[in-house]
Chains A and B, each alone.
Chain A
């Protein structure tokens, strides 16, 4: 439909005559309606692949991007486009009609989430984009010490990311740092540090 309206606008510019333009529009619309009816089945089979951006949970360090790519490879009809580590977002390319027929956005994200969990032993999860603007969030940085181990970093990440009010978190014992972008109305640094200590993390 959007392509049809673009065509109408183009004709308007060419003819510069509204009278003819209305007539032409009506003709074109009728032609389009007729042709759309006849080619509906063919269009449905055509892939209308588009890029979609989602919030991703589990992207706790830069090295995890490679794991995310591997996870996407295991999912048919999904293409990894890019990942934004700082925003915890992933851009995927897929055809909603093929992958998620007759689903609304909420259902689509829920299905995606299940797919990612199943191929990543629940270490990746897909969520809707964050509703709160970054300027309303506070970045907390907590120096930590521990083994340079990806799974340990994930353990520290799980400890803070599970807290209500934490929008994005990162953890890396290699860097010796846990960060969290928090909603200050819901949580604070003390709660984060307590959660880390409870998990066995040495907070410096």
Chain B
């Protein structure tokens, strides 16, 4: 009976609402829903899980509101009523849409009035670390890893819904504040002595010396085997201690390595273990060669070596995996090439090394060892490390806290009632040959007018730290705390340190303080810098905010340009892509070694570098939204170019490469990083890939899978394809509806394996034909087979068909507006820390319209977002 008439519940809810709305009788939504919706969405059929007979039209309730938004969207896109059913007259649909649209907006206004727009949110871990780095000019201080992980809402960790705070956070903030102040405060009258050291990779007690004694490397002199250290062959070198005593590794000979980093081998330059955090100049000399059973010959091309930073832990014998990668550096054939960089090193950090472009190989236990080996090698002549480098002393971090107050030796005999400042003893782990300077007593800042100085210093520091002007009343509270500690017997430094720690743990520092309604100038400056730098505003932005000049569209535009040109904008690129395209999850899976033996850390890092460089290129060149999925160029280095089968690219550095006309590459979706992230390391499935495309690129959030339906597991034995299994799965009607939308992008991407390689047949470890080597390094053994052929064809929801990835990309790229709208949404959520509400959709549409009108691209989009009221008032 219920199917025959509009349900009473719905009627009861709708009627009072309808009475207050101007809706023509013939356009009455009641008859619309009764005629076109309830037939399927009743308590009996409940299609798509929707039962309109019980759904109340109480839009003040969040769950109901969301459900009605979904209903609106289905009608708006034409998905509902279904195409196979009788189509309602367009005017009727338009009228119902308008009615529902207005009702939803009215209801939302009430909620937003109560709640405000973007909720109060704390800094994310990345924002916190970057803010400290910029505030104190300590560009490498590592804090993020010590803080609790941030949650995520609406795809980003910047969302207030995800940024809760607990006692654990507070405890960690206090620890972090202590670390910051330990590092920032100068405790000596002069800078630490600059030590310069030339280090051999085969340093004493290291892994490298051990493996070259056993044939995984050699010592070279004048590009030939070192006559005093014959390569290991039938016999290996015995007794590493004896070699180190005799000085075999201190001859200045070059170290040539054949072996790649692996579980039991991590090469380090262990003779420098950082004592004093700061900037260090690192130089190294690299080249490559072909080793032929004792002879050094020209290499096959330019190889790549990786330098990284490794944090020593525990007893200092090893730090295991790199903390972060400094970069990949070219090692040309036979000719030594010097590379130089300046990097920040933290306490107990060392420089790590890897023969990144070489295939994993080990002569260690192989008969004949190096003298029976033929293959590529990378040579490191030396590594120079010099530092810590200080342009000024006391360092800027100290000056931010204590200005120009003099550093004097603390004499307890002269001030017996004052407690000396606490100093931590420097402890160096590992086998570093660099040594700490001799202790020179306790040095601390001296103030002849403590309260006045405290007030003056806080007046300078607090507005910077809190990213906005600070009332005198607030500052006086901090000064009062200083006086309290000072009177209790703390020296000036300790009392100030106490106050600074309080400031660094205060809500004013930890939270984005934004007034309700239209943002003030400082909130705009903050939003701008946390959007494009993921960090605090610099001095210029602060000045503009103080002068009220960020109201001007022209000023805002020029500031956006300035921020985008600054290298700090890389933080935005990394953080935004890390979440939008989930690049942060790149290492979440380890590809199966039998199926994908060519995978390496170098390939993985190159994948991420490609996506970042591509996004930068879209911004720099202001390329339009179609480039998100389709492009005639890619950003590649040699490793990726070989992986993609594109010839003529040499070296480790990423650069723009024109793609062949028939290339399957171009756009984010065919980049190896995205393809790896959307696979599980062993197999691919159209479902997670399709869902990724819908959610991240097209802005259509797929429905979660219904309960009690088992996931489709690909068959690695190669007996059946994933498509065959999905066909069976879709026989279930409740699954079919969603899979019609989810699967097509996934089918198109089936042309790519779990590491982003192009394929026409699935790899198999069971049944199949012998696999040709293709572009896989000849020094990598392959055991996989070629199984079932790949079918990358499909039908998109509107009925159009595609036959492979390029067909599908053309279909999707044609709808630039949808792509642009979605990217606009993602950027707005990221930059404002709040989801797009129903009523804000119109603003998004306005942004998209404006960008399209200007024939602009991604850079224009960023400008339009920042100029829009959403950014400045949300």
Residues of A within 8 A of B230 (CB): 147-149
A147 and B232: CB pair below 8 A?
yes
A121 and B235: CB pair below 8 A?
no
Bound Cα distance from A121 to B244, whole angstroms: 9
Bound Cα distance from A148 to B227, whole angstroms: 9
B236 and A150: CB pair below 8 A?
no
Q: Is B365 an interface residue (CB 8 A)?
A: no
A149 and B239: CB pair below 8 A?
no
6 cross-chain pairs, A with B, having the tightest CB-CB distances, nearest first: A155-B239, A155-B242, A151-B243, A151-B246, A200-B238, A155-B238
Write 16 A-B pairs (CB below 8 A) sorted by A numbering.
Answer: A122-B245, A123-B245, A147-B235, A147-B237, A148-B230, A151-B237, A151-B239, A151-B243, A151-B246, A152-B238, A152-B243, A155-B242, A156-B238, A159-B239, A199-B238, A202-B235
Q: Is A55 an interface residue (CB 8 A)?
A: no
Bound Cα distance from A152 to B239, whole angstroms: 7
Task: List the A residue with the shortest CB-CB distance to B226.
Answer: A149
Residues of A within 8 A of B242 (CB): 151-152, 154-155, 158
User: B563-587 CB contact bits vs A (8 Å, 1 = yes)?
Assistant: 0000000000000000000000000
The interface of chain A, by Cβ under 8 A from chain B, is: 121-123, 145-152, 154-156, 158-159, 199-202
Per a CB cutoff under 8 Å, which of B228, B232, B243, B247 touches A155?
Answer: B243
B236 and A154: CB pair below 8 A?
no
Could you count the A-B residue pairs with CB atoms below 8 Å apart for me: how many are there? 60
Of A121, A149, A155, A201, most buried by chain B (CB within 10 Å of CB) is A149
Q: Is B248 an interface residue (CB 8 A)?
A: yes
Beyond known contacts A146-B235, A149-B248: 6 more, CB 8 A cutoff = A147-B232, A149-B237, A151-B239, A152-B238, A155-B237, A155-B242
Bound Cα distance from A159 to B242, whole angstroms: 10
Of A152, A156, A199, A202, most buried by chain B (CB within 10 Å of CB) is A152
Q: Is B599 an interface residue (CB 8 A)?
A: no
Residues of A within 8 A of B236 (CB): 147, 200
B246 and A150: CB pair below 8 A?
yes
* Shortest beta-carbon distance from A186 to chain B in Å: 23
Residues of B within 8 A of A148 (CB): 230
Known: A199-B239, A200-B238. A149 touches B245 (CB 8 A): no
Task: List the B residue with the shortest CB-CB distance to A122.
Answer: B245
Bound Cα distance from A156 to B243, whole angstroms: 11
* Shortest beta-carbon distance from B137 to chain A in Å: 42
Bound Cα distance from A201 to B238, whole angstroms: 7
* Shortest beta-carbon distance from B247 to chain A in Å: 7
User: B336-369 CB contact bits vs A (8 Å, 1 = yes)?
Assistant: 0000000000000000000000000000000000
Bound Cα distance from A121 to B248, whole angstroms: 12
Task: List the A residue with the shortest CB-CB distance to B247.
Answer: A121
Residues of A within 8 A of B498 (CB): none
Task: List the B residue with the shortest CB-CB distance to A196.
Answer: B238
Q: Is B229 an interface residue (CB 8 A)?
A: yes
- Which residues in window 217-264 of B have CB below 8 A to A? 228-230, 232-233, 235-239, 241-248
Bound Cα distance from A158 to B246, whole angstroms: 12
User: B811-851 CB contact bits vs A (8 Å, 1 = yes)?
Assistant: 00000000000000000000000000000000000000000
Known: A158-B239, A199-B239, A201-B238. A151 touches B248 (CB 8 A): yes
**Dominant secondary structure at the B interface:** loop
Known: A121-B246, A122-B245, A123-B246. A154 touches B239 (CB 8 A): yes
* Shortest beta-carbon distance from B242 to chain A in Å: 4
* Shortest beta-carbon distance from A5 to chain B in Å: 49
Task: List the A residue with the shortest CB-CB distance to B232.
Answer: A147
* Shortest beta-carbon distance from B248 to chain A in Å: 5
Task: List the B residue with the shortest CB-CB distance to A202.
Answer: B235
Task: List the A residue with the shortest CB-CB distance to B250.
Answer: A121
Residues of A within 8 A of B239 (CB): 151-152, 154-156, 158-159, 199-200
Bound Cα distance from A199 to B248, whole angstroms: 18
B247 and A149: CB pair below 8 A?
no
* Shortest beta-carbon distance from A119 to chain B in Å: 12
* Shortest beta-carbon distance from B597 to chain A in Å: 32
Residues of A within 8 A of B245 (CB): 121-123, 151, 154
Please, how many residues of chain B have a CB less than 8 angstroms from a CB on the other chain? 18
Residues of A within 8 A of B248 (CB): 149-151
Bound Cα distance from A202 to B233, whole angstroms: 13
Residues of B within 8 A of A145 (CB): 235
* Shortest beta-carbon distance from B590 to chain A in Å: 35
Bound Cα distance from A123 to B235, whole angstroms: 23
Task: List the A residue with the shortest CB-CB distance to B234.
Answer: A145
Residues of A within 8 A of B247 (CB): 121
Bound Cα distance from A47 to B237, whole angstroms: 47
Residues of B within 8 A of A154 (CB): 239, 242, 245-246
Task: List the B residue with the shortest CB-CB distance to A58.
Answer: B245
Bound Cα distance from A122 to B244, whole angstroms: 10
Residues of B within 8 A of A149 (CB): 228-230, 237, 248
Bound Cα distance from A50 to B319, whole angstroms: 54
Residues of A within 8 A of B238 (CB): 146, 152, 155-156, 199-201
Residues of A within 8 A of B246 (CB): 121, 123, 150-151, 154
Task: List the A residue with the shortest CB-CB distance to B246.
Answer: A151
Task: List the B residue with the shortest CB-CB distance to A153.
Answer: B242
Residues of B within 8 A of A121 (CB): 244-247
Residues of A within 8 A of B243 (CB): 151-152, 155
Residues of B within 8 A of A159 (CB): 239
Bound Cα distance from A83 to B232, whole angstroms: 32
* Shortest beta-carbon distance from A124 to chain B in Å: 10
Task: List the A residue with the shortest CB-CB distance to B244.
Answer: A121
Task: List the B residue with the shortest CB-CB distance to A121.
Answer: B245
Bound Cα distance from A19 to B456, whole angstroms: 104
Of B228, B237, B238, B244, most buried by chain A (CB within 10 Å of CB) is B238
Task: List the A residue with the shortest CB-CB distance to B242.
Answer: A155
Bound Cα distance from A147 to B231, whole angstroms: 8
Residues of B within 8 A of A122 (CB): 245
Bound Cα distance from A30 to B130, whole angstroms: 91
Bound Cα distance from A52 to B229, whole angstroms: 35
Bound Cα distance from A44 to B248, whole angstroms: 44
Residues of A within 8 A of B228 (CB): 149-150
- Which residues in window 175-232 of B have CB below 8 A to A? 228-230, 232
Residues of B within 8 A of A201 (CB): 238
* Shortest beta-carbon distance from A143 to chain B in Å: 14
Bound Cα distance from A154 to B247, whole angstroms: 11
User: B502-543 CB contact bits vs A (8 Å, 1 = yes)?
Assistant: 000000000000000000000000000000000000000000
* Shortest beta-carbon distance from B141 to chain A in Å: 38
* Shortest beta-carbon distance from B229 to chain A in Å: 6
Bound Cα distance from A49 to B238, whole angstroms: 42
Residues of B within 8 A of A156 (CB): 238-239
Residues of B within 8 A of A200 (CB): 236, 238-239
Residues of B within 8 A of A151 (CB): 229, 237, 239, 242-243, 245-246, 248
Residues of A within 8 A of B229 (CB): 149, 151
Task: List the B residue with the shortest CB-CB distance to A120.
Answer: B245
Bound Cα distance from A121 to B246, whole angstroms: 7
Task: List the A residue with the shortest CB-CB distance to B239.
Answer: A155
Bound Cα distance from A152 to B246, whole angstroms: 9
Bound Cα distance from A84 to B57, whole angstroms: 107
Residues of B within 8 A of A158 (CB): 239, 242
Residues of A within 8 A of B241 (CB): 155
* Shortest beta-carbon distance from A170 to chain B in Å: 15
* Shortest beta-carbon distance from A118 to chain B in Å: 12
Bound Cα distance from A123 to B241, whole angstroms: 11
Bound Cα distance from A147 to B230, whole angstroms: 7
* Shortest beta-carbon distance from B427 to chain A in Å: 26
Bound Cα distance from A73 to B237, whole angstroms: 29
Bound Cα distance from A151 to B247, whole angstroms: 8
Task: List the A residue with the shortest CB-CB distance to B230.
Answer: A147
- Which residues in window 9-38 of B have CB below 8 A to A? none
* Shortest beta-carbon distance from B235 to chain A in Å: 5
Bound Cα distance from A176 to B232, whole angstroms: 16
Bound Cα distance from A148 to B233, whole angstroms: 11
Bound Cα distance from A151 to B239, whole angstroms: 8
